[in-house]
Amino acid sequence: MTTDLNSGKELPISFSAGMIIAFKSAKLDLTPVPRVSVDEWVPVIHKTDLDLCNIDHDIILRITFFRGSKRVFFNDRANESLSDGWGQEKSVELSQEDLDRWQRSGVTISVHDCSIPSKEQYRILFDSTTIHYIDKHFPGPATKVTYSAEQLLYTSITGRPSRGILSDPLKIFTYNLDDLLLVDKQAVESRG
C-alpha cells in the first residue's frame, strides 16, 4: 500500500521485526545553497529528518540529511531522559556518483527491521544497496513516521519554488519481507 507523506506531517504505521518501510523520493538534492543577491533569495531546505517513533514517543530511528553535506546521519532519542535523550550519532558518506544520480532520478530509502533474537537492528538501504546497520535501543514496533524539513532562507520575491532535499510529498510503502519479489528480497537480505 502506498501513502503520501508531506513535510511537517506524521503518518501512523505498524512497523516491526521482519518488515520494511520505504521512502520513495523523486530526488535527493544535497547541493549547497548558491550565493545569490538579496533580490533572488528563495526558500531552501537546510535539513531534513525522517523519524520512526514508538508508542512511547521515543525516536527509535532518525535519518537526517543536511544541504551541502555528502553524509547521511543516523540517531535515536529517548522521549523521557535525565539528559537530552540523544544516542550516539552515526554517519555514512555517500558517493558523488550516487548523489548525482539520485538528484536526477530519485532514491528509495528503505529501513528493514532485520532483528533476530540475538541481535536487534535496522538495515538501511538506498535503492537496493545496504549502506548501514544501526542497533535498536528501544523495544516494540514503530507506530508512526514523521517527515520534517527546516528552511534556511525565507525571502522569495522571484516566485521560484522552495528547493527541498527530498521530494514533497514522499511516497511511503510498508512490506513484510516475505511478500517481496525474490529479486527484491535477495537485495534486502544481502549483507552488501
Tell me the CATH number for domain 2-189: 2.60.120.200
What are the pLDDT tens digits along the chain (192 aa)?
679 999 999 999 999 888 999 999 999 998 876 665 555 666 677 899 999 999 999 999 999 999 889 999 999 999 988 788 999 999 999 999 999 999 999 999 999 999 888 889 999 999 989 999 999 999 889 999 999 988 765 444 444 555 789 999 999 999 887 777 676 666 666 655
Is the Cβ–Cβ distance between 163 and 21 less than 8 Å?
no
Contacts of 107 (CB under 8 A, 6+ apart): 25, 27, 28, 126, 127
CA-to-CA dists, residue 68 to 29, 52, 76, 121, angstroms? 9, 24, 23, 29
Domain-wise residue ranges, the chain: 2-189
**pLDDT at residue 155, rounded to an integer:** 44
